[in-house]
Chains A and B, each alone.
Chain A
């Protein structure tokens, strides 16, 4: 569950601080919150689509901070008893785990009507889906001009689809892919059969050239032709394709993942933070996000606003038809004891 975007977040910080200063004077520093996301192009896109409009509408100041992996900081800040952040945008699993460990506030959905209107799978007592991305099967169109691999069964079929392969050096989404390769239906994955997943991974392990650790690395591997197919995040693949590399991906059997908004326990501006969360998942703001970056809105109602054109919607991971082809990740399972045990087992699998 490490960060999926970490490049160039200086720009975002710069942009963030400029807008913070601008807004700070406008709103006369009446009410404010500190919002934290993962930086880079992603945080910039949010600033344009969601953060600035929300600040304006609510008349509050949104101070931005960014960190590739918020989890250790959440632990230390809440542990110190005086957190400085209010709202965090982080992989949903951390919100849940944090909630269970008393690091994250329980949300009062009566004060967050926009979230209350979202399907139940899109929220938890501690969090609201903020945006969606997908771990997809990406491939080189040079190697596979036609009859490209289209499922994890194909990815595992080294005879029918010869070529170099890469997977993420992380159990999350990778175990799901292994189970789908072994014939488990995308909607029947949870609770994961961990033994079966690792057994299936042993099968493909000798054929994996690289186990990538960062999103940038996965993009580089595909862009340079180092691998012919890999699991990668949809936004990374489309960015490489946009730069002219002959690569593509399928949403079929993708693993739909999300980041969520949650509030640190004992946040300095709790009331304002709750107001902000409601505004941030407003369908129109949410619909503006995919106009700025290749990630899908966390609130599915965004697709009903007419802000997202149908051709654009068809490219997004959480668009209903695309979502139907994918497995929706269960963060509840991953933050359960079984999920944590599976996560720890990964290291010994990698080093065997």
Chain B
């Protein structure tokens, strides 16, 4: 058994454990041990602002993705199999398109001379183009779109396991469809909700392309701080410290979530 998993373990060791260890090392060692990089992360305004903004955006994206994704998963779960395959394919299809391409597509839709603004002006709903992009709004819209499959799939997988006869039992006892949903279906689907929310939230924390392309330079998420520290200021140590803090926050989130549901449920989407 060990022989079978050892190639995988080796890959993980070489490509994940070693680089991450090296990263962490860089953040505390520069001509001697130093906590200067961490002092900066925890005391300087720009880092705080970036972390706060990143958590706000991730929260907004998670809530919106849940509100959009739950009905889709519910629908896919309640229609005949052929239809559910179609719905899920539509959810997964954009997933195979490059994130970069989708971000640019949103730019074409949202910008001042973009499709949406031109259409609204044609209808004379607005006289001046709306500022839909180059800000946090545009970033959130595109990020929700990109992360939606990570919400829908765990939800659908959980809903699939809820026995349909429970609903019938509820109805036979005289409960209205909305009451059976609230009292029976919704509670049983909560593990899926938690799994989907964790996936989306954690992935969003590290998002780079959408805020970079659609944020107008003002929406500086943590991943952009990392890249700026390297590209602009050549401070590998500072960049590593930011990355380590982000990694630790993700681990804390996973730890907290694991108190409520098993982690393979989040990661393996069982």
Contact = CB atoms under 8 A, between A and B. Distances in A.
Contacts of B220: 347, 350-351
A343 B233 contact: yes
Interface of A: 2, 69, 71-72, 75, 164, 169-170, 209-213, 217, 220, 224-226, 343-344, 346-348, 350-352
Interface stretch (B44-52, B141-149, B173-181, B253-261): B44-52
A226 B111 contact: yes
Q: Chain B binding site: helix, strand, loop or mixed by DSSP?
A: loop
A212 B234 contact: no
Interface stretch (B66-74, B81-89, B224-232): B224-232
B216 A211 contact: yes
B265 interface: no
A344 B233 contact: yes
Given A69-B231, A71-B234, A225-B113, A211 B46 contact: no
Interface in B194-219: 212-213, 216-218
A41 B216 CA distance: 26
B102 interface: no
Contacts of A344: 233
Contact of B134 (A71, A170, A209, A351): A209
Interface string B36-47: 000000001110
Nearest to B53: A351
What is the size category of the interface that chain B forms with chain A? 20 to 34
A75 B231 CA distance: 12
B119 to A, nearest CB: 16
A158 to B, nearest CB: 16
Q: Report, nearest first, the 6 A-B pairs whose CB atoms are least far apart.
A: A211-B217, A169-B217, A210-B216, A210-B134, A225-B113, A351-B46
Nearest to A352: B45
Q: Which of B134, B212, B217 lies at the interface centre, i.e. has the most chain A CB atoms within 10 A of its CB?
A: B217
A351 B234 contact: no
A211 B232 CA distance: 15
A351 B49 CA distance: 7
A169 B233 CA distance: 13
Given A224-B113, A351-B220, A2 B134 contact: no
Contacts of B228: 347
B268 to A, nearest CB: 37
B46 A348 contact: yes
Given A225-B112, A343-B232, A347-B228, A213 B212 contact: yes
Given A225-B112, A351-B49, 7 more contacts: A71-B234, A210-B217, A213-B212, A226-B134, A343-B232, A347-B233, A348-B46
Contacts of A350: 217-218, 220
